[in-house]
Structure 1
Amino acid sequence: MTRPSDHDHAPAPAALSADGGRADPAAPPGAPPGHPRRWAGLAVLSASLLLIVMDITILNVALPALSADLRPDSVQLLWIVDVYSLVVSGLLVTVAALGDRFGRRLMLVAGFAVFGVASAAVLLADGPGDVIAVRALLGVGGAMIMPSTLSMIRHLFTDPRERATALGVWAATAAVGSAIGPIVGGALLEHFSWQSAFLVNVPVMVVAIAAGLWLLPESRAARPGRWDAVGTVLSIAGMVALVYAIKHFGKEGFDDPGALVAALVAAVALPAFVVWCLRIPHPILEIRLFRRRAFSAGAVAALCTSLAVAAVLLLLAQWMQLVEGYGPLEAGVRLLPAAVGAVIASPAAPALAARIGARAVLSGGLVVSAAGYLVIAFGPRPLSYATVAVALLLVGAGMGSLAIASAVIMVGAPPEKSGSAAAVDETSYELGAALGVAVLGSVAAAAYRGDLPASWLAERGVTGATAAEARESIGNAMEIAAHAGTAGAELAARAQAAFTTSLEGASLAGGVLLLVAGVLVWVLAPRDLDVSGSSHH
């Protein structure tokens, strides 16, 4: 999930709860008035964000039904989930630059159109490869929409107090989207096929296009920078190769030729990208900002939080349906504690940062989320929903306290570099989600296969391609078990136990990662870091 980026250094966090209708007495006397339809415009922008966040969480609930219908292997399943965030993270900076040049409303409305067309294209999908292509096209649309929403908020709201309120609404919308996505997805899947999780976007996008053209003014940068084509190619090639290598190493082992080639490409392209960005005056990503400790602390927090959350919530959605036997709607409702924790903690984070310091809140949030994952890893056995609910509440509360991560990133950058800082902010979350599903998803898939050995399957008459399918994913195993006669119950029980073990292992990895990130953020962030913008360490 992304967080709001206060590009123009809005007022102190306390202003988030202020009355957005009054002018800020500290505002510059000659500031231009806000757009007359700015609040209606904010509704359009927030609604578009709501749909994008919902779309991610809806898919988590829809995966078991999709797997039963299309029978993807473990790598295809990871690509179906991951390709969206990968495309968004690869294109985000480039598309933001194009929006600055050609018009942000134009980019936003075009993004609505791409998102709607991609969602409708699922009707033509009859295999895992088709769904991966649809998700990639959705990523293109998402990349066009996401930076445009924040840029338009900056343009619509010229009063700092109103802008702070608008950014607070934007952040709350993201939390609400993550909460209701699984419930909406579950309700749809109770009555319709998995395609409905995509098709629900189409009518909303039609309305969004009309409302955007009517309510939103066009805006573009006065002096847009040159498009960094070399940086764009290097970043996309490096990231796609890295994620490909991680997924296939997890499935095939470290001697897989394709994964080795991809790892080599990543090892060349990503360092070359960094060197390129350091050499040219206006790179696609301002790498030099990472020399600032506060900036690096915020980026580490955003990246690691997203990395751990994306993978474990995906596994939990499948565990609830395929191991615990809940329906899609029941599973969606049972994921709510994470959103409840985030909704409670998010509004309190700025005030808490003002009282005990931004460093303590940022680092503490990572530790609280880590505690949630470790509850799953070391809680009572067998794993029950009661344990998971406690874990989700802690994870959500930790995520909520990280609502200031974007402010820390922005405070850590000079005002003239706020655009590049915002791009790093968005990219950190999307890249974290892509890497999380790739790394922790691959760890979980390997653990699942290890607990469901081919020799055990062969003893029960499951051999050859059927055994390979059962070891690919729990969805396949449950489908095979349903038609396996007397051995079916034993196969189902063993697959469920293996998947639960893989969930516990991925949770342990996620918890350790966040503990390490918490320590790193504590070391990196200046002791007197002030997210109001008065401290630029």
Structure 2
Amino acid sequence: MFAVIPRRWLILLAVMLAFLPVVIDMTILHIAVPSLTLALGASATEVLWIIDIYPLLMAGLLVPMGTLADRIGNRRVLLTGLVVFGIASLLAAFAPTPALLIAARVLLALGGSMIMPCVLGIIRRTFEDEDERAMALGLWGMVGAAGAALGPLIGGALLEHFWWGSAFLINVPIMLVVAPLVFLLLPRSEETTPGTWALGQALLLIAGMLALVYGIKAAVGATQPLGVALLMALLGFALLSVFVRLQLRSATPMLDLSLFSRPAILAGIIMAVVAIGALAGVELTLAQELQYVLGKTPLQAGIFMIPIMAAAAVGGPMAGYLSNRFGLRGVASLSLLVSAGALGFVAFADLHQPGVSVPVVLAVLGLALSIGLTASSIAIMGAVEASKGGAAGALEATAYELGTGLGITFFGVFMSSVYGHTIALPAELAAALVQRAARSIGDSYLVAAELPAEQGSAVIAAAKAAFSSTHSILLCTAAVVVGVLAVVVFRLLKGQSGQSAH
């Protein structure tokens, strides 16, 4: 089975390189948000859509694309995804309006949704041995975390010298290097699943996911009348219900729903959604706190956040060893409890005088979350046979993307709500300007720029004070959510001692 050992690890190298730009793109945007907001004059709602249309759309696309890869081959879908991602990055870099940038992000989601399930599916098919698979997934996790760590740093360095679009443009040369490597290294012939790709089912799933998530967003964010939001959510639920019925009746379903009956898969998916959602929200909050409140440059903000992602890069390879040695249940639950404690500490830390403690705790946060999430990947991939690796990979990737999208949405809406109730603006400010400035700290800065110097300074001072309070409340909430998740995972993995769910 493993006669040609070097080939296996070369394939892993190829898919990790393909995965890298997708991860960099996820975090590079967090640093670019303040520059992008001011340059395009984007509203708080537009900024939220720019950030989270990508993960939310991917959440609907991943399962259909994972199934398509099983039908026509991972290599073909992966290469197509890399090309689409490169073109979309070019369009995003030169988008002149928020609406066109959102459209480019839709195209980025299409490319990314082709890349991610192929990467996990290829790893599962290539590594049958459990110990080797744990190491391969650990290395995959390390590359993901390293890419996420590089994102803010690269973004900060680019924005120091260039315009915000350079944060997207950086993907183009990466793709020009990665695509030929994937073309050369991946085997040209591969085993595919017989049958046709059900386009109707794919569209049903995508429409259902988007309608449901949009309904939730609109209801929580009050961007639409409550009746409209509930109608969209109900429509999404109805479409997904039809999709589920079709899967249960089909001889060759697009998504094998029996996978959800396996505790390791269910725990891994719940963990991915909540933990990644909390992490994405925390990163976004910190990036804004550092730049808007502390007055750091994008590069300085990127450097400040390195401990989270650098430590996460170390956590990947450690997770396989720890879950084999101490059991998946203990490792996953304890890592989440440690993460919750770290979030609670950062909530009340003085970021003006971080000292040694803040970077150390940020590193602990990154390490603990990385160990827990990589352990969940090992559990999910160990719970399925190789023939269902693509489906399991798509489910895991969907959980990550849905978690990121919902995390940013809920954090953004929660942040906006708390910020609006906390900010104490000057009494003489016109009612229309007060309403605008209370939406977000970005809007406060835009309003301040239109006012005389003294009034503008007063608005900015009020904005900084309000955002610091908001930041503490958000991180405390994230700590509680991750703490509760630790208990849920511990209960779900009862009797789960090793890495494999067999």
Matched residue, 1:66:
36
Q: Which amino acid aligns with 1:489?
A: S
The one-letter code matched in structure 2 to 1:521 is: V
Match of 2:446 in 1: 479
Q: State whether structure 2 residue 436 is matched by structure 1 residue 469.
A: yes
Residue correspondence of structure 1 range 235-384 to structure 2 within 5 A: 235-252=205-222, 255-377=225-347, 379-380=348-349
Q: Is the 8 A contact 1:104 1:219 kept in 2?
A: no
Distance in 2, Cα, partners of 1:436 & 1:283: 30
Q: Percent of aligned pairs with the same residue?
A: 38
Alpha-carbon distance, 1:324 to partner: 0.8
Matched, 1:523 2:487: no
Taking structure 2 as the reference length, the TM-score comes to 0.91
Q: 1:222 to 1:236 in 2, by over 3 A?
A: closer
* Equivalent of 2:423 in 440, 445, 452: 452
Q: Is the 8 A contact 2:329 2:494 kept in 1?
A: yes
Which residues in structure 2 correspond to 1:88-167 (within 5 Å)?
88-154=58-124, 165-167=135-137
1:109–1:209 CA contact under 8 A, matched in 2: yes
- Deviation of the 1:180 alpha carbon: 1.2
Work out the CA distance in 1 between the residues paired with 2:472 and 2:415.
9
Distance 1:520 1:134 in 2: 38
What residue is the counterpart of 1:15 in the other structure?
Answer: none
State whether residues 371 and 391 of structure 1, in contact with CA within 8 Å, keep that contact through their aligned partners in structure 2. Answer: no
**1:134-172: CA deviations, max 9, x gaps?**
111111111111122233445666777665544433221
**Is 2:178 aligned against 1:208?**
yes
Q: Secondary structure at the match of 1:101?
A: helix
TM-score calculated relative to the size of structure 1: 0.86
| Aligned-pair CA distance for 1:438 | 1.5
Determine if the alignment matches structure 1 residue 408 to structure 2 residue 379. Answer: yes
Deviation string 1:416-469 (CA, Å, 9 cap, x unpaired) is: 54432222222111111111112222111211122237xx45x232442x4443
Amino acid at match of 2:411: L
In the TM superposition, residue 36 of structure 1 has moved relative to its aligned partner by: 6.4
Shift of 1:333: 0.7
CA contact (8 A) 1:226 1:282 kept: no
Are residues 1:57 and 2:24 paired? Answer: no
Structure 1 unaligned spans of 5+: 1-30
Q: Deviations along 1:104-132, whole A, 9 cap, x unmatched?
A: 22211111110111111125411111111
Q: How many Å apart are 1:385 and its aligned residue?
A: 4.1
Instruction: Report the Cα distance in structure 1 between the residues aligned to 2:224 and 2:174, rounded to whole angstroms.
Output: 44
Conservation of the 8 A alpha-carbon contact between 1:482 and 1:488: yes
Q: Distance in 2 between matches of 1:250 and 1:384?
A: 35
State the Cα RMSD in Å: 2.6
Query: Is the Cα–Cα contact under 8 Å of residues 250 and 445 in structure 1 kept in the other structure?
Result: no
Q: What residue number does 1:492 align with?
A: 460
Contact 2:308 2:365 in 1 (8 A): yes
**Which letter maps to 1:473?**
S
Q: Match for residue 27 of structure 1?
A: none
Alignment correspondent of 1:184: 154
Which residue of structure 1 lines up, in the alignment, with residue 56 of structure 2? 86
Q: Cα distance, 1:415 vs. partner?
A: 5.6
Q: Is the 8 A contact 2:142 2:312 kept in 1?
A: no
AA of the residue aligned to 2:334: G
Question: Which region of structure 1 is more displaced relative to structure 2, 341-350 or 420-429?
Answer: 341-350
Unaligned runs of 5+ in 2: none
Q: 1:515 to 1:383 in 2, by over 3 A?
A: farther
Distance across 2 between alignment mates of 1:158 and 1:252: 48
Query: Given that residues 423 and 465 in structure 2 are in contact (C-alpha distance below 8 angstroms), is that contact kept between their aligned partners in structure 1?
Result: no
Q: How many residues align?
A: 499
One-letter amino acid of the counterpart of residue 54, structure 1: I
Partner of 1:441: 412
Aligned twin of 1:7: none
Alignment of 1:500-519 (within 5 A): 500-519=468-487
Farther off after superposition, 285-294 or 114-123? 285-294
CA distance in 1, matches of 2:482, 2:189: 39
Change (3 A) 1:94 1:74: same
Residues 217 and 350 of structure 1, relative CA distance in 2, 3 Å threshold: closer
Distance 1:478 1:165, change over 3 A: same
1:19 corresponds to: none
Equivalent in the alignment of 1:431 = 402
Deviation of 1:193 after TM superposition, in Å, equals: 0.2
Question: How far, CA to CA, are the matches of 2:123 and 2:396 in structure 1?
Answer: 16
Rounded to whole Å, the distance in 2 between the matches of 1:435 and 1:131 is 20
Within 1, Cα distance between the matches of 2:146 and 2:251? 40
CA contact (8 A) 2:93 2:168 kept: no
SS in 2 for 1:499: helix
